[in-house]
Amino acid sequence: MKFEIAGDFDDDRRPDKAVVGVYETATGAGRFLLIVTESRASIWKPTFLEVYPGDPGFLGLKQNGSKLELWSCMECGNVSNLVWSRQAQKYVWLRAPKYD
């Protein structure tokens, strides 16, 4: 598992990066998944953001073919799959994230 994966997840021949992490603001904390695309040389724009407010905790990424797997623990089966939908022109969950 990784905290950052590089690839071309939306098949547009431009580099993409997926990153997971934790955040803290004045009003709370949580976890996030962010995908950015290089729109021009060294210029990255966000294309997907999912935040999970609550207690900060583990998130990990794996790539499985065209799917990005989002893991909420290292040894459990709680994995969610995210893919690029050409038809919808956006990222969609094949299995939505569930957190205990």
Q: What is the pLDDT along the chain (100 residues), one digit of tens a residue?
A: 999 999 999 999 999 999 999 999 999 999 999 999 998 888 999 999 999 999 888 999 999 988 999 998 877 778 899 999 999 999 999 966 665 4
C-alpha to C-alpha distance for 88 and 100, rounded to whole angstroms: 30
Q: Which domain holds residue 75?
A: 4-95
Q: Residue 97 has what pLDDT? A: 63
Asked whether residue 16 is assigned to any structural domain, the reply reads: yes
User: Are residues 98 and 89 in contact, defined by beta-carbon separation less than 8 angstroms?
Assistant: no
Asked, for residue 12, whether it belongs to a domain, the answer is yes
The answer to whether position 76 is within a domain reads: yes
Model-wide pTM > 0.85: yes
**Overall domain count for the chain:** 1
DSSP E strand boundaries for 26-89: 28-40, 43-53, 60-64, 67-71, 79-85
Beta bridge partner(s), residue 51 = 32
pLDDT value at position 57? 87
